[in-house]
Amino acid sequence: MTDVWQSAMDHAVSVARKAGSLVREAVQNEMKVMTKSSSVDLVTQTDQKVETLIILSVKDKFPTHRFIGEESVAAGEPCVLTDSPTWIIDPVDGTTNFVHGYPFVAVSIGFAVNKQLEFGVVYSCIEDKMYTGKKGKGAFCNGQPLQVSDQKEINQAIIATEFGSDRDPEVVERIFSSMRKILCLPVHGIRGVGTAATNMCLVASGCVEAYYEIGVHCWDVAAAAVIVSEAGGVLMDVEGGPFDLMSRRVVAANCRSIAERIVKEIDAFSPPRDDAPQ
């Protein structure tokens, strides 16, 4: 990675800290909540404030760079990844947690060039944990190196997942079908902290062996995908193919054998892609 991308990463860490401070303050006093696609798909004024803070800060320093931001896309901006340097931003990953005061909320900033992810920054605001990963340079939490679990046996594993915000009965049935089959492999347990980025960072940290989900968005997983890879983990699609950032489907695991074992049990479906024409 060239020095210019190191400068971009340093800026991402700095602005993530500022954004995290704003989130922590808002946890105490903001309850103005709006809904997006459904009554459980939430957005708050803080989501919008944080995204604006990050984008304006980056535009000031890197005026030619492009952006994919959760709230910008919700407002009608296209979700298109080009070869240009692109910041992929989730200002508040875990908005439902934020609204309820559940203490796992993350600012997620991924960075791609030539459609390849170069670095990722995930700041777990309430915990004050700064996760970083840079292509070819390793992954860290608060400066300490991260390494995935060395567990190879699925029946000794903890698996993370989430229920998502789609309450269509057929989708819910598929989610529970997958969970039931994975639980009965058996695994030690199934967990989820309510934020995709943090779940993936827990894989990178070695305390869960894998995370899978269908229905996430590129801004949920872009930054953490780099962190998982740089901690020695693997990424793939829920049907076993290569990880596709725009597909809204992901398996992140400590090793290929556990990822492939989980894939066998997932009742897969395909939500509309993030880059599908509007």
Q: What are phi and psi of 33, to 5 degrees?
A: -120, 135
Query: Per-residue pLDDT for the chain (278 aa), expressed as one digit of tens each?
Result: 456 799 999 999 999 999 999 999 998 776 566 777 777 777 788 999 999 999 999 999 999 999 999 999 999 999 999 999 999 999 999 999 998 889 999 999 999 999 999 999 999 999 999 999 999 999 999 999 999 999 999 999 999 999 999 999 999 999 999 999 999 999 999 999 999 999 999 999 999 999 999 999 999 999 999 999 999 999 999 999 999 999 999 999 999 999 999 999 999 999 999 999 87
Q: Is the CB of residue 108 less than 8 Å from the CB of residue 223? A: yes
HEC assignment per residue over 8-46: HHHHHHHHHHHHHHHHHHHHHHCCCEEECCCCCCEEEHH
> Please, what are the domains in the chain?
3-143 (3.30.540.10), 154-263 (3.40.190.80)
- Give the pLDDT of residue 30: 63
Q: Which SS3 state, helix, strand or coil, does residue 187 take?
A: coil
pLDDT at position 32 = 65
Question: 109 - beta bridge partners?
Answer: 89, 121
Tokens of 42: 């939430």
Determine if the pTM surpasses 0.75: yes
